[in-house]
Structure 1
Amino acid sequence: MLKMGLLGVGHLGKIHLKCIRLAKEHYDLIGFYDADREMARRVAEEFHLPSFESPEALIAAADVVDVVTPTPTHFALVKMALLGGCHVFVEKPLTETLEEAEELIELAKATGKVVQVGHVERFNPALLALGDLKVKPYFIEAHRLAMFNPRGVDVSVVLDLMIHDLDIILKLADDEVSEVRASGVAVVSEQPDIVNARIEFKGGAVANLTASRISLKNMRKVRLFQPDAYISLDFLEKESQIVRLFDADAVGIPEEGQQFPLSTPKGPRIIHVDQPESGPINAIQMELESLANSINEGKPAAVSIEDGYRALALAHRISAAVAEHQGKLPPPTL
């Protein structure tokens, strides 16, 4: 049983607290620390859990720490935890700067501790339902739209929302990025609130992503197009749809799903539509349990610190492209 301490009990931290308790076969939740001492007092009373006086004290008592604090604090707390001999789960984004992330990567290697980054969409049922399906997209389209919420506006929408999809497309494309173009606008905050990015990979695949936190509705969809399939992933509804084209006499057409005949210049073909199910999943509990399995079995984290770095690096490239594009625009006139 791993002794886990929680750093940060804000809105998301409380969710993590509950999920750690659900993962009771893996973790013994020893307590938490929060810089807001009044918040800490209330949480300690509500959840009947020890509130530590400092992050150092919590780290000294734990085997694993779960860092769910504002992004600017991630570097110092993860570094402190690694130097204190703890494995780490840290919410996305990994750090504010690439230099901080690079230092943590080297420190994780030196200490031999597992660091997992909280890109929770990796554990979304919509993605998990794909199973062993061979995915090699030529074109990716992603929309992540959210209604305005004052939480998170200390960073741009790229680090707040788009970074979820950056991690997903980097995983699915499995290729190096060759070019990034992007534009964005700050509407209600000091940072861009809506951003569109076009990402080209060395192998020729292209991704077009839009993220907005000033939408009138919520949407989290990714669509994948490849020569033999169209795949739609709805991360909000936790549903996926796979549309594939087969020769009419092909062997191995899946029995599950629906089939529709199609006449083509090359002869009759079959359109096969499948909506695979993976069942209800608590994604945060699942990602925390996966960390415990990685620690106990000596295996790499499901979402490694290197994965977190790659998503962060791409996010910074997009932010730089947005700034460059804004610099080319004429000043607004009233």
Structure 2
Amino acid sequence: MLKIGLIGVGHLGKIHLKCIRLAREAYDLVGIYDSDKELAKRVADDYHTTAFPSLEALIAAVEVVDVVTPTSTHFAVVKAALEGDSHVFVEKPLTETLDEARELIDLSRRSGKLVQVGHVERFNPALLALGDVPVQPYFIEAHRLAMFNPRGTDVSVILDLMIHDLDIVLKLANDEVAEVRASGVAVLSNTPDIVNARLEFRNGAVANLTASRVSLKNMRKVRLFQRDAYISLDLLEKESQVVRLFNPGATDLPEQGQQFPLETPRGPRIIHVDQPASGPVNAIQMELESLAASIRDNRPAAVSIEDGYRALELAQRIAEAVAENQARMPDPLS
């Protein structure tokens, strides 16, 4: 087992603490640290662990740190952990700035220590259920809508919510973004609360993403359209549906699922509809356990620090596009 310490015991930190306990075959929880010493003591008492007096003391006592602190602190905490010879799990987004992220990438490579970024949707059962289904989308549509919650409004909806789908889209499209167009509005906070972005990839694929934290209902859906296939992912309900077209008599037609004949301008085809199942998982526990496996097997992290950088870079490009678009809009109060 790897000795692990948790840094940050707020709302999400407590969830991580429970998941570390569940991952008992992978980790031995050594203790916790939080800049709020009274909170750290209360949580340590509740969870029967040790509250360390300083960040440095905790890092010195462990092999892995789990960083669940405000984004503004990620750079300093992760840097201290890497310099202290620890592997790192850090919640998304990786850092506040690209310069900070680049410095951490360099430090991670020089230290030989892994950094995994907490893009937890990579471990959503709806996405995991795709398994070996071939994915080469020409068009991607993503909607991530949430009811307003003051927690998280210290950053724009791009870093708060959309960044989840940016990571998924970058993974599925597997290409570089050539062009970004975006618009957004600050409705209830001082930063954009609803943003729409259109991404064009070098290979011609297009992604259209909308993120809102001022909606009347929650929604987390991703739809992929590709040649002879449509894939729908409901990340909230953790369900997926794959609709594919096959030629009659095709040898690769899956046995499971439903089949329907269809006449098309290109001749008769078979519609195959499948809802691949992936059993319920604890996504946070799973991502923490995946880091332990990567350390043990000496292989890259499932969501590498470079992945975290790419999502952050794209988020900043979208934020810049939103700002440019707002600058062109007339001020209704002038």
**Smaller-chain TM-score bracket:** over 0.9
* 1:19 equivalent in alignment to 2:19: yes
Query: How far has the Cα of 1:21 moved from its partner?
Result: 0.6
2:43 matched to which residue of 1? 43
Query: How far has the Cα of 1:261 moved from its partner?
Result: 1.2
Q: Following the alignment from structure 2 to structure 1, what is the Cα–Cα distance between the partners of residues 58 and 145?
A: 37
Query: How far has the Cα of 1:133 moved from its partner?
Result: 1.1
Query: How far has the Cα of 1:214 moved from its partner?
Result: 0.6
DSSP-derived class of the 1:262 partner: strand
Query: How far has the Cα of 1:63 moved from its partner?
Result: 0.4
* 1:130 equivalent in alignment to 2:164: no
1:256 matched to which residue of 2? 256
C-alpha RMSD of the superposition: 0.9
Q: Following the alignment from structure 2 to structure 1, what is the Cα–Cα distance between the partners of residues 295 and 213?
A: 36
Q: Following the alignment from structure 2 to structure 1, what is the Cα–Cα distance between the partners of residues 45 and 113?
A: 32
2:155 matched to which residue of 1? 155
Q: Following the alignment from structure 1 to structure 2, what is the Cα–Cα distance between the partners of residues 55 and 132?
A: 42
Amino acid at match of 1:48: H
Deviations 1:59-113 (A, max 9, x none): 0101000000000000000000000000000000000000000000000001000
Query: How far has the Cα of 1:321 moved from its partner?
Result: 0.3
Query: How far has the Cα of 1:5 moved from its partner?
Result: 0.3
2:241 matched to which residue of 1? 241
DSSP-derived class of the 2:133 partner: coil
Amino acid at match of 1:128: L
Q: Following the alignment from structure 2 to structure 1, what is the Cα–Cα distance between the partners of residues 23 and 265?
A: 55
Query: How far has the Cα of 1:40 moved from its partner?
Result: 1.2
Q: Following the alignment from structure 1 to structure 2, what is the Cα–Cα distance between the partners of residues 265 and 43?
A: 65
Query: How far has the Cα of 1:265 moved from its partner?
Result: 2.6
Query: How far has the Cα of 1:249 moved from its partner?
Result: 2.4
Query: How far has the Cα of 1:332 moved from its partner?
Result: 1.8
DSSP-derived class of the 1:49 partner: coil
Amino acid at match of 1:17: L
Q: How do 1:53-92 residues align onto structure 2 when only pairs under 5 Å count?
A: 53-92=53-92
Q: Following the alignment from structure 2 to structure 1, what is the Cα–Cα distance between the partners of residues 28 and 332?
A: 56
Q: Following the alignment from structure 2 to structure 1, what is the Cα–Cα distance between the partners of residues 166 and 290?
A: 21
Q: Following the alignment from structure 2 to structure 1, what is the Cα–Cα distance between the partners of residues 271 and 217?
A: 32
Q: Following the alignment from structure 1 to structure 2, what is the Cα–Cα distance between the partners of residues 201 and 252?
A: 30
DSSP-derived class of the 1:191 partner: coil
Misfit runs of 4+, over 4 Å: none
Q: Following the alignment from structure 2 to structure 1, what is the Cα–Cα distance between the partners of residues 118 and 21?
A: 17
2:267 matched to which residue of 1? 267
Q: Which runs of 5+ in 1 are unaligned?
A: none
Amino acid at match of 1:167: D
2:225 matched to which residue of 1? 225
Q: Following the alignment from structure 1 to structure 2, what is the Cα–Cα distance between the partners of residues 98 and 111?
A: 20
2:278 matched to which residue of 1? 278
Shifted more, 255-264 versus 74-83: the winner is 255-264
2:319 matched to which residue of 1? 319
Amino acid at match of 1:182: A
Q: Following the alignment from structure 1 to structure 2, what is the Cα–Cα distance between the partners of residues 233 and 224?
A: 8
* 1:191 equivalent in alignment to 2:224: no
1:108 matched to which residue of 2? 108
Query: How far has the Cα of 1:42 moved from its partner?
Result: 1.7
DSSP-derived class of the 2:43 partner: helix
Amino acid at match of 1:32: I
Shifted more, 308-317 versus 266-275: the winner is 266-275
Q: Following the alignment from structure 1 to structure 2, what is the Cα–Cα distance between the partners of residues 33 and 53?
A: 7
Query: How far has the Cα of 1:47 moved from its partner?
Result: 0.9
Query: How far has the Cα of 1:246 moved from its partner?
Result: 1.0
Deviations 1:310-333 (A, max 9, x none): 000000000000000000000023
Query: Scaled by the length of structure 2, what TM-score is found?
Result: 0.99
Q: Following the alignment from structure 2 to structure 1, what is the Cα–Cα distance between the partners of residues 76 and 237?
A: 36
Amino acid at match of 2:118: G
Q: Following the alignment from structure 2 to structure 1, what is the Cα–Cα distance between the partners of residues 265 and 204?
A: 28
1:291 matched to which residue of 2? 291
Query: Scaled by the length of structure 1, what TM-score is found?
Result: 0.99
1:141 matched to which residue of 2? 141
Q: Which runs of 5+ in 2 are unaligned?
A: none
The percentage of aligned residue pairs carrying the same residue is: 76
What number of residue pairs does the alignment pair up? 334
Amino acid at match of 1:325: N
Q: Following the alignment from structure 1 to structure 2, what is the Cα–Cα distance between the partners of residues 114 and 320?
A: 30
* 1:168 equivalent in alignment to 2:168: yes
DSSP-derived class of the 1:28 partner: strand
